[in-house]
C-alpha cells in the first residue's frame, strides 16, 4: 500500500474512505446532523451554589449562580 500514496488520486480515496469509516464509527458524520453542533458539558457543584456549561474548547458558555449563593458565607481565613 505505501506505493499507492505516491498516486494523489489513490491517496485522496484512501483518506476519504478512512474519514468516512471514522465518522461512522464515532457516529458524527454529516449524515446524522450532529457534525456541526458544538460539544458542551454541564456540571453542578455539590453544594448547589452554581451550575456551569463549557464547550469543547474550554470556554465558559453559561454560569448560573443559585439563590443559595447570596446566603453563602465563605470560610474564615486570611484575605488573599
Mean pLDDT within 48-69: 86
Q: What is the rounded (10 degree) CA torsion for 22, 26, 31, 33?
A: -140
What average pLDDT does range 43-57 have in this prediction?
84
* Domain range list for the chain: 1-37, 38-74
What is the Cα 16 distance to its own chain's centre? 24
pLDDT, average across residues 52-80: 82
**Model confidence over 27-49: pLDDT tens digits?**
655 555 555 667 888 888 888 88
Nearest to 65 by CA among 41, 45, 36, 38: 45
pLDDT score at 31: 54
Q: What is the pTM of this model?
A: 0.44
| pLDDT of 23 above 80 | no
Amino acid at each position: 500500500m505505501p506505493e499507492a500514496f505516491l498516486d494523489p488520486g489513490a491517496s485522496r480515496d484512501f483518506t476519504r474512505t478512512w474519514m468516512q469509516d471514522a465518522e461512522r464509527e464515532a457516529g458524527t458524520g454529516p449524515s446524522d446532523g450532529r457534525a456541526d453542533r458544538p460539544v458542551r458539558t454541564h456540571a453542578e457543584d455539590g453544594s448547589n451554589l452554581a451550575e456551569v456549561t463549557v464547550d469543547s474548547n474550554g470556554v465558559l458558555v453559561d454560569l448560573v449562580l443559585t439563590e443559595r449563593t447570596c446566603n453563602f458565607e465563605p470560610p474564615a481565613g486570611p484575605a488573599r
